[in-house]
Amino acid sequence: MRRKGFFQTWPLCIVIAFTLSAHMATGQIRYSIPEEMTVGSFVGNIGTDLGLEPKRLVSGKARVFTADGSEYVGLDKEKGDLIVKQRIDREQLCGELSACSVSFNVILENPMELYRVNVDILDINDNSPVFPKGEIQLEISEAALPGAHFSLESAIDPDVGFNTLQKYTLHPTDHFNLNIQSRADGSENVEMVLQTALDREKTTNHYLTLTAVDGGKPQRSGTVKIHVLVLDANDNAPVFSQSSYKTSVVENAAKGTLVTTVSATDEDESNHNIQYYFERPSATVKALFTIDSESGEVRLKGEIDYEKHKQFKIKVTAKDHGGLTGSSEILIDVIDVNDNTPKITIMSFSSALPEDTGIGTVVAMMNVQDLDSGDNGRVTCSIDRDFPFKIESSLTNDYSLVTDSTLDRELTQEYNITITAADRGSPSLSSKKLLTLKISDVNDHAPEFQQQTYNAYILENNSPSMSIISVKAEDADWGPNARVSYFIADGDLNGHPLTSYVSINSDSGVIYAVKSFDFEQLKSFKIQVKAQDGGSPPLSSNTTLNIFIQDQNDNAPQILYPVQTSSSVVAEMVPRSADVGYLVTKVVAVDVDSGQNAWLSYKLQKATDRALFEVGAQNGEIRTVRQVTDKDAVKHRLTVVVEDNGQPSRSATVIVNVAVADSFPEVISEFTNFNHDTTYSDNLTFYLILALVVVSVLFIFSLIAIISVKIYRWRQNRLFYKSAPNLPVIPYYPPVYADGTLQRVYNYEMCGTTDSRMSDIKFVRPYSQNTLVNMSRAGTVQREKKEQEEDADLSIEVRNLFTVLIYLAFSGIHCSHFGPQNRTDSCYD
């Protein structure tokens, strides 16, 4: 029986040894546990003790293997725990052996590994000493002398060590004491020794108690009652040698088989004068047995069937010549022969079971009968495979098939369970019953994507509704529980919902582009794809999809320098002293594409003089190829092409103007006739109004400027005339002013025609000429005359300036009206 309140934990004694070979890793490990541990109790963790990671146990499909198929210890490969799988009774497993253990192998695959596990089963004091009989009867003559020995049956304790039988006690001890003698095989012979003589006249019956005690903590004990009957010494009636004869006979034994022989003695007469007979035998006894009246031999007369009669109790009488009788009893046990196979009767059975059925659920109820007895009729029911079921005994001969672990329809959809009922006879007889159990599906598995993360690539400028990628999720369930639908999880990108970028087919898992992507605006983004089954409630799982936009060569290079404008001409100056390799300028360009589409190369497409300049293919630097000479032209026009590395490639062109000169005026004269492209409006009214406004504003500002200059000159003249001849000169004035004479001022009349091809201004004649003299030698009259002349000159200057402004305004109107194709050089003068 299982000991109540036993400790749930137990110290482990572990011994580990490893052996590594070229093909397989092996090792040994030993644990110690007490017997009768609860099913599911923890034994040890082989993952920790053997240095194996839990994922290795799963990937290696770790399993327990035993040669005889018995599995007392199971393996939870998800955790690496060894757990008690079935009840372990040391006495049943190993009997009287002091050392008891179970051994099994743990096997892993890919690569193959084999670990030997030994579990020592430690004994607990779960058995009490037991005597074979409930009462011992002894008949002792009052004439027996002190010191006489009377043998007693020993008690049995299946425990071992200190938990087994340790001592006997007898109570009371008025007439008897105990004598314990050890036999050669280690067992003990228990005897009761008479200490004082018995007197039948005083006490006819003596009652004693024999107690057997083991050494466990707490101690367990067993008792038996001893009844001593004191016989009269003067009784000379026949006395049987045994008060009770106990024998056995095998069923189906042949007729005439000797069963037993009874014998009686008479102190007054010879034993030959004693007659034996059955006392009031039943009809069955008369039919099956016979007794020899002289010898006392009891033999079979008919056929004995154990299934009909298991025991016979026959009263036998011995009668002497004087008519005195003595009686005894014959107990005949019929020994069963294993001639009956167990019979299995299914009382109830559930042919279908949901996979989420709890452990311990009854699947079937059955009754098993074996008409034999003892081990021949003691039946063990089992299932012949390692299924998640076990058989429990509910009542006598009644058994239940219950679930022993969780079911998983995805692993096993149907079980063909063969129930075997076998007796313990020798040889054992057995019978089988086949049960077919179907496991119905429960939505206990969420869809699983084939990949935890998907990466998809799509070229920019794609067409909407283009297929990007297909995701796939599988559900291990069945039917509607395995029907998978796909969705895009809620989210936004740059303020817009993800569904405005991509969509998904809910049935196939194909993901489509909703819009055309532009790599320069969006290079990549991430979405969560949800797979949901059709169970109730539904289960779902997510996967991550990374979408990468691949660049196309859809952007031409952009020139950053030199800047191209329509209103001016930009020229790079190169001195005529420039040597070979002189850096003229650098063309700077960018390409908003990426990768090789943005790799730029430069080349000189056209040039005024190809022998003078070159362009760096990688850096865009324009350098001189040779020494600049005086013969080289001042004006050079270079056309540089910037090309990317895409397929097909795209390019941009830039015109670089180069002036080979040492001074700026030389450059101006050469570059004034460069044509410029300007965008003109055909709206003549707009330009007329604009010209009038500009002329009016310029006239007002010019008038203000001339009056300001006039006042300024007048004040300067007055200060100048009052100054001494040796007036100091400010250092930063030009040297020609140092002698007190100002430079001559010239006014010219200018005219231009719309037909002119030249941009040079033609000076016809000087309009007026004024020379300032040293006022230190002139009088007041000369000064007033000079002032009058200056006023006249100023009036002429204002008039001429206004004329020029009017002309320029109308020239601009003319150029803008007739467009670039009818422009003349006068438009640039």
pLDDT in tens, 532-545: 999 889 999 999 99
Has residue 20 got a pLDDT over 60? no
pLDDT for the residue 233: 58
pLDDT for the residue 133: 80
Neighbours of 458 (CB within 10 A): 19
User: If you average pLDDT over residues 417-426, what whole number do you get?
Assistant: 90
Has residue 615 got a pLDDT over 60? yes
Segment 152-166, tens digit of pLDDT: 878 888 888 888 888
What integer best gives the mean pLDDT of the chain?
79
Quote the CATH superfamily of domain 239-335: Cadherins (2.60.40.60)
Distance CA 729, CA 476 (A): 107
Q: Which residues of 751-779 are buried (b: 16+ CB within 10 A; e: fewer)?
A: ebeeeeeeeeeeeeeeeeeeeeeebeeee
CATH 2.60.40.10 for domain 448-550, yes or no, is no
The pairing of beta strand 651-660 with beta strand 571-574? parallel
Quickly count helices (H) and strands (E) in the chain. 8, 54
pLDDT for the residue 174: 86
pLDDT for the residue 414: 92
Element spanning 714, H or E: helix 684-722
- The percentage of residues in the chain with a pLDDT greater than 90, rounded to a whole number, is 29
Has residue 504 got a pLDDT over 90? yes
pLDDT for the residue 647: 87
pLDDT for the residue 183: 57
pLDDT band (50, 70, 90) for residue 66: confident
More confident residue, 191 or 500: 500
Spell out the domain ranges in the chain: 16-122, 135-231, 239-335, 343-400+411-440, 448-550, 558-671, 684-826
The upper half-sphere exposure of residue 14, i.e. CA atoms within 13 Å in the direction of its Cβ, equals 13
pLDDT for the residue 112: 54
Residues 298, 330: contact at Cβ < 8 Å?
A: yes
User: If you average pLDDT over residues 650-673, what whole number do you get?
Assistant: 79
Distance CA 823, CA 820 (A): 5
Q: Give the CA dihedral 661, 664, 669, 675, nearest 10 degrees.
A: 90
Helix %, strand %, coil % for the chain, to 5?
A: 15, 40, 45
pLDDT band (50, 70, 90) for residue 670: low
Distance CA 819, CA 684 (A): 11
Q: What are phi and psi of 465, to 5 degrees?
A: 70, 15
Domain at 16-122, CATH from 3.30.200.20, 1.10.3210.10, 2.60.40.60, 2.10.10.90: 2.60.40.60
More confident residue, 638 or 322: 638
Q: Where are the beta strands (DSSP E) in 46-112?
A: 63-65, 73-76, 81-84, 101-108
- Cis omega (within 30 of 0) on the bond before 218? yes
Distance CA 101, CA 90 (A): 9
Distance CA 758, CA 828 (A): 9
pLDDT for the residue 724: 45
What is the DSSP secondary structure assignment for residue 362, as one 8-state letter? E
pLDDT band (50, 70, 90) for residue 458: very high
CA distances in angstroms from 174 to 178, 194, 230, 548, listed in the order given: 12, 9, 15, 105
pLDDT for the residue 669: 64
Has residue 42 got a pLDDT over 90? yes
Has residue 237 got a pLDDT over 70? no
Question: Looking at 495-499, 587-591, 642-646, 822-826, which range is the least confident one?
Answer: 822-826
Q: What is the 3-state secondary structure (H, E, C) of 387-436?
A: CCEEEEEEECCEEEEEECCCCCCCCCCEEEEEEEEEECCCCCCEEEEEEE
pLDDT for the residue 642: 95
User: If you average pLDDT over residues 625-642, what whole number do you get?
Assistant: 90
Distance CA 765, CA 415 (A): 125
Has residue 804 got a pLDDT over 70? no
- Same fold: 343-400+411-440 with 448-550: yes
pLDDT for the residue 17: 45
Quote the CATH superfamily of domain 343-400+411-440: Cadherins (2.60.40.60)
User: If you average pLDDT over residues 177-184, what whole number do you get?
Assistant: 78
Has residue 406 got a pLDDT over 50? yes
More confident residue, 797 or 624: 624
pLDDT for the residue 557: 93
User: If you average pLDDT over residues 747-773, what whole number do you get?
Assistant: 43
- Angle of helix 684-722 relative to helix 780-818, nearest 10 degrees, comes to 160
Domain at 558-671, CATH from 2.40.50.140, 2.60.40.60, 3.40.366.30, 3.30.420.40: 2.60.40.60
Distance CA 770, CA 392 (A): 139
Distance CA 602, CA 615 (A): 7
The CATH class of 135-231 is mainly beta
- pLDDT winner (highest mean) among 12-16, 302-306, 408-412, 434-438: 434-438
Q: What are phi and psi of 695, to 5 degrees?
A: -65, -40
User: If you average pLDDT over residues 406-418, what whole number do you get?
Assistant: 89
Structure tokens at 565: 């404008």
pLDDT for the residue 488: 93
**Nearest alpha-carbon partner for 656 in 589, 718, 743, 598:** 589
Whole-number CA gyration radius for the chain = 64
